[in-house]
Amino acid sequence: MEYQFNDNFLWGAASSGPQSEGTFPGDGKAEMEWDYWFKQVPEQFFDGVGPSVTSDFYHKYKEYAKLMKEIGMNSYRTSIQWSRIFKDREGTVNEEGVTFYQAVIDEFLSQGIEPVLCLHHFDMPMYWMEKGGFENRETAEGFAAFAAKCFELFGGKVKRWITFNEPIVIAEGGYIYKRHYPAVCDAKKAALVGYHIQLASSMAVREFRKSGREGSIGIVLNLTPTYCKEPDNEEDRRSAEIADLLFNKSFLDPSIRGEYPEKLVELLKEEGICPEAAEEDLEIIRSNTVDFLGVNYYHPRRVTRRSTPYEGPLMPEKYFEEYTFEGQKMNFSRGWEIYEPAIYEIAVNLRDHYGNIPWYISENGMGVQDEEQFLDQDGIVEDDYRIEFIRDHLIWLNKAIGEGCNCFGYHLWAPFDCWSWRNAYKNRYGMIRVDIKNGGALSIKKSGRWFRAVAEDHGFINISNPYGQNKRI
């Protein structure tokens, strides 16, 4: 069967500044939260690898751009690091950082690759963390000023902007599950941080429109469709509804509709953790909704009602337990279920309940540990499993588009192997290999060649297992 996409479809991939650029003497970059945290607890990072060098995109961006062109990408999302543009809370501009991003933008445009720029990808400058980060409303004002400066500096050439990547992860990762800095478990702080991030995003949208720049601005959300174990059971359905409110609708609704779901507000009030919102702030959120949505999709969430009373600090798990879906397909490296139909269900939900807003897959990908085991005799990674992963998700995305869903692109995470927070280089996601044991030498994996063919043909013909025997991962 043939699966075709329109000629203007975005074929590309995504990375981020803190996961790719590195930090070097003389670059003028201020310290961000990950720089600081690594210095405090390097033992908590896989193989003791921190954010100082990463994939050395700072020096090798031209080489990366050339290879991205070679694998057929017509677009690339990355982020501008707040800490690389502003040296301090007062907004002192780091000219070295400006020069770097201008050069990166020009290089990608020269290769025929559209840069899509995100303003925040888990990288809070420490000069704002010292003020409480997004626990403090002032940080939202600071972010808006940073956004305005970026539109001024780069808005003449960049036409698609993103305010935040996965804002829910900042709240839950840093303030509930201890996966990100400051690694505390405090549901009230998490709710406050989430509210101020939404306010900051809406303020950035306002600044973009004030700038008069041509283009559009959106937000990237990691949407995890929630499935309950027993749909006919009222308690199971309630568990799924709460999980959906907390992890999906908490940013989806205010970003697109300008309003928080009433049931979410009621839940937070019942728990005594609902932030006090000034009417002027709520008006900013109402009046500055996004133009488009980026959707990061990796895996579904499967929940059931609690079987035992919940004990411990307030966390989402008070309302549900997760369960293993019988017969599920797995990426064992990450411990994530692979469930392709969810990408179709996300699309239909956006079509039917969110005004069919323009959107694209901003991340979808497969991280694999010990990928060197799949090197062939020529040193090429034969990642048939990644080809299958992309292909099978695209089949469901194509179905959604055929049924009127307003999706304009597909971005893989990631174009090249990159540093992944505390996991460092444990799992590889890229279509381009970064050989960290050989000076960061770059080579295109089998998936990159396949991706180029798909992008050039605006689609593909699917036949049963066309790429040989799939390797167990």
Q: Is the pLDDT of residue 305 over 90?
A: yes
Instruction: Kindly report the pTM of this predicted structure.
Output: 0.94
Tell me: pLDDT of 467 over 70: no
Confidence grade of residue 456 (pLDDT, cut at 50, 70, 90): very high
Mean pLDDT of 386-398: 95
**Residue type, position 63, single letter:** E
Q: What digits encode the pLDDT tens for the residues 14-51?
A: 999 999 999 999 999 999 999 999 999 999 999 999 99
Report pLDDT for 463: 57
Write the pLDDT tens digit of every residue in 434-443.
998 888 899 9
Q: Has 456 been annotated as catalytic?
A: no
Quick one: three-class SS letters along the chain?
Answer: CEEECCCCCEEEEECCHHHHCCCCCCCCCCCEHHHHHHHHCHHHCHHHCCCCCCCCHHHHHHHHHHHHHHCCCCEEEEECCHHHHECCCCCCECHHHHHHHHHHHHHHHHCCCEEEEECCCCCCEHHHHCCCHHHCHHHHHHHHHHHHHHHHHHCCCCCEEEEEECHHHHHHHHHCCCCCCCCCCCHHHHHHHHHHHHHHHHHHHHHHHHHCCCCEEEEEEECCCEEECCCCCHHHHHHHHHHHHHHHHHHHHHHHCCCCCHHHHHHHHHCCCCCCCCHHHHHHHHHCCCCEEEEECCCCEEEECCCCCCCCCCCHHHCCEECCCCCCEEECCCCEEECCHHHHHHHHHHHHHCCCCCEEEEECCCCEECHHHHECCCCCECCHHHHHHHHHHHHHHHHHHHCCCCEEEEEECCCECCCCHHHCCCEECCCEEEECCCCCEEEECHHHHHHHHHHHHCEEECCCCCCCCCCCC
Lowest mean pLDDT of 126-140, 142-156, 248-262, 378-392, name the range: 378-392
63 pLDDT above the threshold of 80: yes
Of 166, 172, 207, 382, catalytic: 166
Q: Are the CB atoms for 120 and 143 separated by under 8 Å?
A: yes
Average pLDDT over residues 188-202: 98
Q: Is 109 exposed, middle or buried (0-12, 13-18, 19+ CB in 10 A)?
A: middle
Mean pLDDT value across residues 246-258: 98
Task: Summarize pLDDT for 334-355 with one digit per residue, the tens.
Answer: 778 889 999 999 999 999 999 9
Domains of the chain and CATH, by start: 2-461 (3.20.20.80)
**Is the pLDDT confidence value at 286 over 60?**
yes
Question: Pick the catalytic residue: 172, 363, 371, 382?
Answer: 363
Residue 470 has a pLDDT of: 38
Tell me how far apart the alpha carbons of residues 142 and 128 are, in angstroms, rounded to a whole number: 8
Nearby residues of 282 by Cβ (< 8 Å), 6 or more positions away: none
Give the integer Cα–Cα distance in Å for 239 and 303.
7
| 141 noted as active-site residue | no
What Cα–Cα distance (Å) separates residue 282 from each residue in 178, 200, 203, 277, 407? 29, 12, 11, 7, 29
- Nearest partner of 12 among 409, 433, 352, judged by Cα: 409
What is the dihedral angle through the alpha carbons of 280, 284, 285, 291, rounded to the nearest 10 degrees? Answer: 170
User: In this predicted structure, what is the pLDDT of residue 172?
Assistant: 97
Identify the residue whose tokens are 């990061």. Answer: 296
Residue type, 200: A
